[in-house]
A = this chain, B = another copy of it.
Amino acid sequence: MKILVMNPNSTTSMTDKIVESARQKASAGTTIIGASGTDSPASIQGHHDEALSVPGLIKRLQQAEQEGIDGVVVACFDDPGIGACREVFSGPVIGICEAAVKAASMISTSFSVVTTLPRSVPVIEDLIHGYGLSHRCRKVRSAAIPVLALEEADSGAREKVRDEILRAVREDNCEAVVLGCAGMADLTEWLTAETGVPVIDGVTVATRMIEALVGCGLKTSKIGAYATPIQH
């Protein structure tokens, strides 16, 4: 099985980290193909960045469709362009926010999310509302760090994420914590060890969920909203 793990932003060090995380958790027979955004911002911090990342994302998926890729993970917690991706690709496509919050609701009755910047909080709240899981989400929190601080070893970012997770457990009465940025994927085990609560990373969960859907022979439905785009 071949899965494309697409980092919609253009920071290749982040792509490498994401792909490495996906590979570590993927099944034996799965090939993970990584890709970064082209003509895309270096990080996705808000709707503008998200919007600019989507055309490149679509183009890469159209190519993936030709290459015999079986399924796609969109590795940005804002779940950019998922509808468009599902239109241009036959196999299943999932964003890491959707994967992570659905997984969280399978192993807990409530979760909180810890993301990077405060401006992403309402974006994620809206996604969760759309996925129907607002009643399972105690709070979306920000660790007040820029996305790319996660790429710098000595930025203190990982400690800030850990501290925010501990605050979430203490103040929100949540039973699990979802990492609200693809750039946190490599921290999952360390954060789990430090905090003692289930910490859910969307990149790995999404990769395994795509494996699950492909393994069951499921493809995106083409009889409604996700039909192939009309030729103009």
Contacts and interface: CB of A to CB of B under 8 A. Distances in A.
* Oligomer copy total: 6
Interface in A80-119: 81, 83-84, 86-88, 92, 94, 98, 102-103, 105-110, 118-119
Interface stretch (A12-20, A151-159, A213-221): A213-221
Contact of A25 (B29, B54, B81, B216): B216
Interface in A132-185: 132-136, 146, 169, 173-176
Interface size class of A (residues with CB under 8 A): 35 or more
Contacts of A134: 132, 135
A225 B51 CA distance: 14
Contacts of A105: 131-132
21 contacts: A47-B83, A48-B87, A48-B88, A50-B84, A51-B54, A52-B58, A54-B54, A92-B107, A103-B212, A107-B213, A107-B221, A108-B225, A109-B126, A132-B132, A132-B136, A134-B135, A175-B223, A198-B218, A208-B212, A211-B215, A212-B212
Interface of A: 25-29, 41-43, 45-52, 54-55, 58, 81, 83-84, 86-88, 92, 94, 98, 102-103, 105-110, 118-119, 121-123, 125-126, 129-136, 146, 169, 173-176, 189, 192, 197-198, 200-201, 204-205, 208-209, 211-213, 215-221, 223-227, 229-230, 232
